[in-house]
A = this chain, B = another copy of it.
Amino acid sequence: MNKLLIVGTVAFDAIETPFGKTDKILGGAATYIGLAASHFKVQSAIVSVVGDDFPQEYLDLLSSRNIDLTGVEKVSGGKTFFWSGRYHNDLNSRDTLDTQLNVLAEFNPVVPENFKDADVVMLGNLHPNTQISVLDQMTEKPKLVVLDTMNFWMDCALEELKEVMKRIDVITINDEEARQLSGEYSLVKAAEVIRQMGPRYVVIKKGEHGALLFDKHDVFFAPALPLKEVFDPTGAGDTFAGGFAGYLAQSSNISFKNMKNAIIYGSNLASFCVEKFGTKRMEEIAKVEVKDRLQQFKMLTQFDIELSE
Contacts and interface: CB of A to CB of B under 8 A. Distances in A.
Residues of A in contact with B, size category:
35 or more
B220 A221 contact: no
A261 to B, nearest CB: 5
A209 B212 contact: no
B295 A230 contact: no
A294 interface: yes
Contacts of A209: 206, 209-210
A272 to B, nearest CB: 16
A302 B302 contact: yes
A309 to B, nearest CB: 9
A226 B212 contact: yes
Interface of A: 89-90, 185-189, 206, 209-210, 212, 218-221, 223, 226-230, 257, 260-261, 264-265, 291, 294-295, 298-305, 307
Given A90-B185, A219-B300, 18 more contacts: A89-B185, A186-B227, A186-B228, A187-B226, A188-B227, A188-B228, A209-B209, A210-B210, A212-B226, A218-B299, A220-B300, A221-B226, A221-B300, A221-B301, A260-B303, A265-B305, A295-B307, A301-B302
